[in-house]
Structure 1
C-alpha cells in the first residue's frame, strides 16, 4: 500500500522530483477571450479600448502583488491625433532575485487592410486572435498565480499600440513595447516570453526566427518541454520571421525575448489576419490551453 501511495503522489506532482504544477483551464482562458471581444474593437482611443483597460485592471488588482499602468502618448498614423496609450504591468513575487516576464499586446488593429470588402478596409477589427488571445492566457495565469504563488518573480505585461503600424515600416508597430524598453519600470527580467495569435482553430507553433536569434537556449528549452508534455501544437521547425513585441525588448533593452505565435490564421491557404474575420467564431481554446500549460510548467519548475 505504501508503494501505491508513493506512486500516486508522483502522479499528483506530475513527475517525481518536479514541482507541483497547477492545471491550466483552456475553457477559462477562452472565456476571457470572449469577454474582451464583447467590448468591441480595442484600438487606441476607442470606447472598447477604455473598457478593456478597466477590465484588465480589475482582474490584476485582485490577483497580483503589484499592478500599475505605464502611460505614454503617441500620434495615430492616419488621423494624426495624439492618443493616450497604456501598458499594463502586473507583478507576482516582485522582490524575488529571479525575474521573468510574460507579455502580450492588448490593442487591436484600427483598420482591416486585408479585408476582401473594400468598403470595410478602414474599419477596426475585433481582434479575437490578434489582440485578445495572448491576453486571455495572461489573465488566466494571473488567477492561477494568485492561488499558487510562483517560485520566482513573474511580471505579466500587456503592451498597448502594437498593431497600428504600416507594412512598409516595421518600427511603426510595437510602440508600447518600444516605450517599455526605453523606460523599464520593473526589475530587469532574465528573459521575456511574448504571446501573440495563439487561438486559431488549427494551432501550430513553429519557431520564430528572431526568437531563435535572440534566445536560442530558451526556445529549445520550451519546445523540448512542450514535447515532453505531449503538446502537439509545438513544432520543432523554424517557419516565420516576424517583427513583434519581442524584437524591441531585445534590440532596445537587451532583454532576450522570444515570441510564441501562429501566424497562419488558420492555415497556409486561408488567413484572417487583419480582416474582419478575426472573430471568436474563428478561434478555439486548444492553442490557449497548450500555451498556458507550457507557461505553467515552465514557471513552476524554474530552480
Structure 2
C-alpha cells in the first residue's frame, strides 16, 4: 500500500508539472539539425521541417489555412535559364519539384489580416547559390532562415488573444532560395482574400545581431505611417531604415501585389550560404529582442485600421553591373564613410592581396569610396586582367594594396 501511494503521488506530480515552453533556440536547433539535410526545396528534409512547423502551429492553437491542412503544396519545373518564368501549372513527374508552404491562421473575426512570413527552405548539400568551395556538405541555414522561422513562431505565441483588431496569417515559405517561389505562388493562389491583407512582415536572417545592435528594416516607405512607427518603438537598435519594398526576400512578392511590407535583417556574414551557418553562432538574446520589437510595432499599428500602400523607388535599379569581383562580403549595415568588409572569399583578389575582415575600403583605383553604392560604381569600371590600387582604413591606419582582377 505504501509503495502504491508513493507511485500515485509521483504520477500526479509528473502530470501536474508543466512542460517547458519551446524557445526560439529550440526551434532553430531542430530546423538546422543535420537530420534535415539542409531543407532544400522538395526534399525529405524540407518535408520534415514543414511537418515540424505545422505541428508547432497546431500546438499553439493556430488553425490550418493551407490547401491541405496546414500545407500549401506547389509543383513546378525549375528554370533552365535565369530569365525564364517558373511554370507552376505542371503535374508531378520527371523534372518537377514540389514545394510546401506552411500556413496557419489566427482568426480574430477582424476585417483585415496581417501576414507574418519567413522562408524555411535552404540549400541542402550545396544547391545553386552556395558559396562553399570544397567537399559536399550540409548547409544547415541556422541564420538563413531558421532564425526567421523561430522568431515567427515566437510572435505567433505572443499574438494569441492580443492585438485583436487584425487577424494574423503566419506563412513559412518554401522555394525562396530558388527565386521567391513559395511567396510568389501564395500571392497568385492565396488562401485568404488578399484585398483584406493589411500589411506583411518578413524576417530573413535575423539571427546575427552584432554588438552595435544594428538592425536593417526595409520597406519603411511602403506605407506613410511605417517610418514613424518603426522609429518611435525603437529602444534597443541602431536602425538602418530602407525605403524600398523590393529586395531579395519574400516581402517583394507582397509589395508587388500593392501590400505594405516591412522586412527585418541583421546583416550578412562569412557563414552566409556555407555549411558553417550553424545554430551555435546565433545571438539568441538578440533574436528575442527583435521579436519583442516587432511585437511592439504590431501593437502600435493595431488600432490604425487598414494601412495605405505607397510605391517606392526600386533601389536595385541603380545598382551597377560588374565584369569582375573583388571577393568580399560587404557590411550592408555599415553607416560610416567607406565600404566595410564583413567577410573575405577564398581564392579571390581581395584574399590574394591581403585584405581582411573589418577593413574599410576608402579608395578603389582613382575613385573615392564613401559608401556601398560608390564602391559598386567604382568596381563596375574594371575588367578581368586589370590591376589597380585599393586603399583601406585598417583600425585607423591607411593601408594600400595592389589588386589584380
Per the normalisation by structure 2, the TM-score is: 0.57
Q: Give the corresponding residue for 1:66.
A: 63
**Aligned 8 A contact 1:207 1:219 in 2:** no
* Equivalent-residue separation in structure 2 for 1:186 and 1:40 (angstroms): 32
Measured in 1, the distance between the counterparts of 2:96 and 2:108 equals 33
Match of 1:118 in 2: 134
Q: Write the distance in 2 (CA, Å) between the matches of 1:174 and 1:61.
A: 26
Q: How does 1:169-188 map to 2 (within 5 A)?
A: 173-187=179-193, 188=196
Inter-partner Cα distance in structure 2 for 1:256 and 1:126: 31
In structure 2, the partner of 1:190 is 198
Q: Secondary structure at the match of 2:198?
A: coil
Which of 7, 31, 39 is equivalent to 1:36? 31
Inter-partner Cα distance in structure 2 for 1:205 and 1:77: 33
Deviation (angstroms), 1:145 = 3.1
Contact kept in structure 2, 1:103 and 1:192, CA below 8 Å: yes
The alignment's C-alpha RMSD in Å is: 2.6
| Residues 1:261 and 2:268 aligned together | no
Following the alignment from structure 1 to structure 2, what is the Cα–Cα distance between the partners of residues 66 and 177?
Answer: 20
SS in 2 for 1:191: strand
Distance in 2 (alpha carbons) for counterparts of 1:149 and 1:221? 19
Where does residue 368 of structure 2 map in the other structure? none
Write the distance in 2 (CA, Å) between the matches of 1:85 and 1:237.
32
**TM-score normalised by structure 1 residue count:** 0.75
CA distance in 2, matches of 1:283, 1:239: 27
Selected match of 1:246 from 251, 275, 279? 251
Q: CA deviation at 1:249?
A: 1.0
Is residue 223–residue 236 contact of structure 1 (8 Å, CA) maintained in 2? no
Secondary structure of the corresponding residue to residue 177 of structure 2: coil
Q: Deviations over 1:119-139 (max 9, x none)?
A: 34xx55101001201100111
Counterpart position of 2:77: 75
1:139 to 138, 153, 161: 153
Larger helix percent: 1
Does structure 1 retain, via aligned residues, the 8 Å contact 2:221–2:227?
no
Unaligned runs of at least 5 residues, structure 1? 1-25, 165-172, 266-270
CA deviation map 1:10-60 (0-9, x unaligned): xxxxxxxxxxxxxxxx99212211121123411112222111111111111
Larger gyration radius, structure 1 or structure 2: 2
Q: Note if contact 2:63-2:106 (Cα within 8 Å) is conserved in structure 1.
A: yes
Q: Which runs of 5 or more structure 2 residues have no equivalent in the other structure?
A: 1-20, 65-69, 81-93, 304-405
Q: Distance in 2 between matches of 1:114 and 1:63?
A: 34
Could you give the per-residue CA deviations for residues 265-292 of structure 1, whole angstroms, max 9, x where no partner exists?
2xxxxx2211112111221213311221
Question: Matched residues in 2 for 1:299 and 1:221: separation?
Answer: 9
CA distance in 1, matches of 2:114, 2:37: 31
The answer as to whether partners of 1:196 and 1:259 remain within 8 angstroms in 2 is yes
